[in-house]
A and B are shown apart, each in its own frame.
Chain A
Amino acid sequence: DVKVTQSSRYLVKRTGEKVFLECVQDMDHENMFWYRQDPGLGLRLIYFSYDVKMKEKGDIPEGYSVSREKKERFSLILESASTNQTSMYLCASSLALRRRLNEKLFFGSGTQLSVL
């Protein structure tokens, strides 16, 4: 089974801190995604990556950046955390479109980030 691992389940940070959220997948997936989930709003895409060193902005990229130096790892960076970035952050991965036989999205268990 595909495993998508997020480094922290709960995280508490202070306003202005730099925050790193790490995500690792073990099935050689090309696509990786970072979402945030807020009550009543559903999942919203922050950034995604379809290959090493490639990244594209999602719907709400402001205040975030990402890094994909290796295929299996996709990091989300909050350069200067703010209280409105308190949320559940979910990482996901999937096969590339050209290799997609069964288009299935695999999620990590999420990181609940609180910014005080």
Chain B
Amino acid sequence: KNEVEQSPQNLTAQEGEFITINCSYSVGISALHWLQQHPGGGIVSLFMLSSGKKKHGRLIATINIQEKHSSLHITASHPRDSAVYICAVRGEYGNKLVFGAGTILRVKS
């Protein structure tokens, strides 16, 4: 079992829909990251969380440390949100991140 599991693997939505991507992990962590990768490869850091909730524009990230679970929500989705969304966790010690396999999101107009 991977240390970081994302669901769903693939997601297709209509423009305007509310989207949720989930991330579960099995180890104790000090931080969780949500990253976005557009076609062509470049990866951008969206959020870093260690507790609670963060919001940036139409993106909201939440984390429940006790349940070892995080969600990334996109409100009023748009075709430009189409990308791969990646969850990564940093363990309680050290610099290394462990990555999920990613969720491929396609938003249709």
Interchain CB contact under 8 A, B95 and A42: no
Contact code string A72-116 (vs B, CB < 8 Å = 1, else 0): 000000000000000010101010010000111111111010000
Is B57 close to A, CB under 8 A? no
A-B CB pair tally, cutoff 8 Å? 53
The number of residues on chain B lying at the interface, defined by a beta carbon within 8 Å of a beta carbon of chain A, is 21
Is A41 close to B, CB under 8 A? yes
For B48, give its contact among A31, A88, A102, A112 (CB under 8 Å): A102
Q: Tell me which residues from 21 to 36 in chain B have a Cβ below 8 Å from any Cβ of chain A.
A: 31, 33, 35
Contacts of A103 in B (CB 8 A): 31, 33, 48, 90
Q: Is the interface of B mostly helix, strand, loop or mixed?
A: strand
Name the interface size band of chain A. 20 to 34
- A-to-B contact residues, CB < 8 Å: 31, 35, 40-45, 48, 50, 58, 88, 90, 92, 94, 97, 102-110, 112
Q: Which 3 A-B pairs have the closest CB atoms?
A: A110-B41, A107-B43, A42-B99
